[in-house]
Structure 1
């Protein structure tokens, strides 16, 4: 595993944990979307067409759609930035799809660019949690009920 890939995974795990514990419902939805995309991309990674990573492109398309949906449904700025970065990922996939003769160097550049954009996506989520904290908004975990409400004695 490449050092940047280790950094990417550790950063993602850290941001996901912080966003889940200190973020609001929008940040928790973002964590769920990102984790589903990570798991799905692992499952469809072998799906390629002439060295074009079709499976990853489909997962990134679904991620982009989910982030756009989240941005349109919620009032957080980070969702708009994340959707924009997901759109950049789709542009990278489109450029690779339109390249007539894919070579190994093209594939490596594509993966490296999408990793970089992926880090920016994760940092958007982290910035959303930071903004929530700086604004003094309560995290969703403080509002969560972890037990069933007790029934009043009759």
Structure 2
């Protein structure tokens, strides 16, 4: 594992834990989208089409759809940033797909570009959690009602 991969993994785990424990429902949805995409990409990373990572492009398209849905349904600014960054990832996929006869160097450049943008997505999620904390909003974990609901007998 390269140092950047280690950094990316550690940053992701720290931000996901922070967003899950200190974020609201929107931040938790963002964590769920990213974790699901990560798990699916572990299986799909070996699917290629003439050097183009078609399965990863489909997963990134689903991430774009998830963040776009969050941006349209919720009132958090970081979802707009994450959606814009997901559009950039799709642009990187499009450029790679439209490149005839991909070389190993072009494939590495595509992966590096998408990973760099991925770091920005993670940082936008972290900034959303920090902004929520600075605004004094309670995290979703404190708002949860963990007591079983009693039904009234009528």
Partner Cα distance (1:46, 1:77) in 2: 34
Cα-Cα RMSD: 1.2
Moved more, 38-47 or 12-21: 38-47
Aligned residue runs from structure 1 range 1-154, under 5 A: 1-149=1-149
How many residue pairs get matched?
A: 152
- Alpha-carbon deviation of 1:150? 5.9
- Alpha-carbon deviation of 1:151? 7.1
- Alpha-carbon deviation of 1:145? 2.0
Partner Cα distance (2:83, 2:146) in 1: 32
Moved over 2 A (4+): 149-152
- 1:31-67 CA-partner distances (Å, limit 9, x unpaired): 1011011111111111101110001000000000110
Structure 1, unaligned stretches of length 5 or more? none
Partner Cα distance (1:76, 1:141) in 2: 18
Partner Cα distance (1:25, 1:35) in 2: 15
Moved more, 142-151 or 7-16: 142-151
TM-score (norm 1): 0.96
Partner Cα distance (2:138, 2:131) in 1: 11
Partner Cα distance (1:6, 1:89) in 2: 21
Q: Secondary structure at the match of 1:50?
A: coil
